[in-house]
Chain A
Amino acid sequence: MISVIVCSIDPVRYAAVEATYRAAIGNEPWELIGIHDARSLAEGYTRGVARAQGETIILSHDDVEILSPDLPRRLRSHLEHFDLIGVAGTTRLCDGRWISAGPPYIFGQICHFQPDRRTVAVDIYNAPRRVIENIQALDGVFMAARRAVFDKVAFDAATFDGFHLYDLDFTFTAYQAGLRLAVVNDINLLHLSPGKLDEVWKGYVRLFETKWRGRLHPSPTTWHQWTGTVVRSRLHALEVMNPPYWENEPR
């Protein structure tokens, strides 16, 4: 069974995210665990995981729409090889932003609606392969793990008592504990809100960098950009996010 855990205080968003997972998981056995009063995402996810019955556990934001078909099969396939997966992350964590290392150390792809709400912007941090291994940290917009991961690694709700950096901390802890992390480029989603990188976020970045001092890499770059494209539909986004060179290229 797949357990999907969502922390949400917004009934409209929660109904929408329930519908997207219902459609994406189809006839497979699954459960949705809603945490509607989380004091922090670390605390909320911890509570959700304790209630979850599934062997596969998805931790998801409440403002996503799954675009990819075959979600259960893709999850099972990836979690045969990896302990913890996500849709965006890095092979070289430099600081409290997973994206800081720049190319070619950042991976994954994600869609956002443009302000006109009709066209879709696809951010492609890097997707040279269907699956990127040797990942050190993941973004929390969508993560999935084997149940056993939560016996080995806990959310640090004492340090990350808000809504930021819980994801980098949890995944970097898993990496440091020797678990196998991956970015899966064939699970594609639309994120309905951009991240909010405000003063509160900066405070948690400082806490993160203090906690992991000595374990983070120096950043090789002072400025970088990633690939992006604007497309007209979800279908077109899926086409762009699943390029032909995954399948048929020699090395």
Chain B
Amino acid sequence: MISVVICSKDADRYAAVEAMYHAAFGDEPWELIRIPDAQSLAEGYARGVARAKGEQIILSHDDVHILSPQLPQRVRSHLERFDLIGIVGTSRLCNGRWISAGFPYIFGQICHFQPDKRSIFVDVYGAPRRVIRNIQALDGVFMAARRAVFDKVAFDAATFDGFHLYDLDFSYAAYQSGLRLAVANDINLVHFSVGAFGDEYTKYAKRFEAKWAGKLAPLTSTEYQWSGVLLRSSRHALEVMNPPYWDDEP
């Protein structure tokens, strides 16, 4: 069974994400654990994981829509080879933003609707393969792990007592303890909000950088952009996010 843990205090969002996961799992056995009153995401996920019965556990934001077919099969397949997966992350963590290392160390892809709610923008941080291994840290919009990961690594709810950096800290702690992390480029989703990088984010980034001082990689590039494409539909997005060159290696 796969457990999905979601921290959500918004009834409408929760209903939408519940319906979406219900459709994504189909006849597969799964459970949804809602934490409606999380003091922080670290605290909420820790509480959710303690209640979860599944052998695989998904930690998901409440404002996503999975586009990919075969979600449970893909999650299980990736978790046969890896302990912890996500959809975006880095193979070289430099500071409190996973994206700071730039090319060729950032991986994954994610969609956002444009303000007109019809066209869709796909950010492609790096998707040279279906699966990217040797990942050091993951974004928390969607992560999935083997149950055993949570026996080895805990969320640091004391340091990350808000809604930022819990994800980098948890995944980087997993990497530092020798677990195998990956970015799965064949799990594609729309995120209905974009990240907020204001003062609150900066406060937790400083905490993160103090906690992991001495372990983070030096920055090599400060000017970069990643690939992105504006498309007319989620069908086009799936086509772009699952390129033929994954399968035609000469």
A-side residues, CB < 8 A to B, are 81, 102-104, 122, 124, 126-129, 131-134, 220-231, 236, 240, 243-245, 249-251
B-side residues, CB < 8 A to A, are 102-104, 119, 122, 124, 126-133, 220-232, 236, 239-240, 243-250
Partner of B227, one of A126, A230, A231, A251: A126
Q: B122 to chain A: which residues have CB within 8 Å?
A: 103
Q: B230 to chain A: which residues have CB within 8 Å?
A: 221-224
Cα–Cα, bound, A236→B132 (Å): 23
Cα–Cα, bound, A81→B228 (Å): 31
Chain B residue with the shortest CB-CB distance to A242: B104
- Check if B243 sits within 8 Å of A251, measured CB to CB: no
Partner of A240, one of B104, B127, B226, B243: B104
Partner of B245, one of A104, A122, A220, A223: A104
24 residue pairs A–B, Cβ–Cβ below 8 Å: A103-B122, A103-B228, A104-B124, A126-B227, A128-B243, A132-B245, A220-B239, A224-B227, A224-B230, A225-B227, A226-B225, A227-B225, A227-B226, A229-B102, A229-B224, A230-B221, A230-B223, A231-B220, A231-B221, A240-B221, A243-B128, A245-B129, A245-B132, A251-B131
Q: B104 to chain A: which residues have CB within 8 Å?
A: 124, 240, 243-245
Q: B239 to chain A: which residues have CB within 8 Å?
A: 220
Rounded to whole Å, the gap between the CB of A141 and the closest CB of chain B is: 20
Chain B residue with the shortest CB-CB distance to A107: B245
Partner of B129, one of A122, A128, A221, A224: A128
- Check if B250 sits within 8 Å of A221, measured CB to CB: no
Cα–Cα, bound, A227→B248 (Å): 22
Q: A104 to chain B: which residues have CB within 8 Å?
A: 124, 127, 240, 243, 245
- Check if B225 sits within 8 Å of A228, measured CB to CB: yes
Cα–Cα, bound, A221→B131 (Å): 25
- Check if B129 sits within 8 Å of A229, measured CB to CB: no
Partner of A229, one of B127, B132, B223: B223
Chain A residue with the shortest CB-CB distance to B230: A223
- Check if A227 sits within 8 Å of B128, measured CB to CB: no
Cα–Cα, bound, A131→B231 (Å): 27
Q: A249 to chain B: which residues have CB within 8 Å?
A: 128-129, 131-133
